[in-house]
Chains A and B, each alone.
Chain A
């Protein structure tokens, strides 16, 4: 449909999204009042040239009003092939008003990690640090704190992962392993002491 460009300045016709550009002046090229666009008539040979009258521009894709509406003027499509200012802005508006870019919210999950830890995750890291520090206190406090830290870490990380929660989990696991090793060591040592005491008759 030749003259789409020239007749009303719009590629899509009859679309309510596009302001009724009766004159087709200047919206596309900013040359309102330009002799090229007087009365919607494109007097510029360039625009009346074969280049723009080819099938590329006259085929159903470009000439069919319905397709124009859908493709160029439908703000839902997100297409900005339509070269009318309004469709451009319609499409642009989609990105600024309704879509994920329009309503920008501070992401809670930044690559899967939250920004602030919960109380349980903090407790997990505290238990993990204490578990590591208490590994030489006969091992048992370390095991208890390690298990507490592990449970808190697992529960806390289910709510949302944070660096503190992850660190708490790691510290709790390290503390638990040290606690188990320490308990085993002390258990064996105490057992040997008991055996020695029994052999030497140090019993009552």
Chain B
């Protein structure tokens, strides 16, 4: 049990680092870079005529930040999945560590990660099937 608590503490602090780094990168990209970056087509689309596994991620994040959950799922379900699972873990663990009574931090389970892999793989296959067979694009 102590080993698991230590691991959850490690994951909490790693999650904080990821959150901070991700926020900074998103801010830099959204505010500055996106205006100046050249319009280069996606590597996967150009080379293989397929959507890449991360295609739609930035649009999904933007939609989620605007409160449009359905659109966020359509663009890329991993963003909402991460927000729910990862966000839930971070929030409950953070509140638990602050000392808020009645809040028990979510425990880490391996299926969090396997689920993420499944979501990425499933989205990749579904989007490309829809695009290649029925011509439905994002």
Contact = CB atoms under 8 A, between A and B. Distances in A.
Q: Do A and B come from one complex?
A: yes
Interface of A: 116-119, 122-123, 125-126, 129, 132-139, 163-164, 167, 171, 181-182, 185-186, 189-190, 193
Nearest to A141: B25
Nearest to A134: B54
B57 A133 contact: yes
A129 B7 contact: no
B40 A181 contact: no
25 contacts: A116-B4, A116-B7, A122-B7, A122-B11, A122-B108, A129-B116, A132-B120, A133-B53, A133-B54, A133-B57, A133-B78, A134-B57, A135-B52, A135-B54, A136-B52, A136-B54, A163-B110, A167-B113, A167-B117, A171-B117, A182-B43, A185-B43, A185-B46, A185-B47, A193-B38
Q: Is chain B's interface secondary structure helix, strand, loop, or mixed overall?
A: helix
Contacts of A181: 43, 47
A171 B116 CA distance: 12
Q: Is chain A's interface secondary structure helix, strand, loop, or mixed overall?
A: helix
A181 B46 CA distance: 12
B5 to A, nearest CB: 12
Contact of A137 (B14, B54, B113, B116): B54
A163 B40 CA distance: 37
B42 interface: yes
Interface of B: 3-4, 7, 10-11, 14, 18, 38, 40, 42-44, 46-47, 52-55, 57, 78, 108, 110, 113-114, 116-117, 120
B10 A119 contact: yes
B43 to A, nearest CB: 4
Contacts of B53: 132-133, 135
A116 B44 CA distance: 35
Contacts of B55: 136
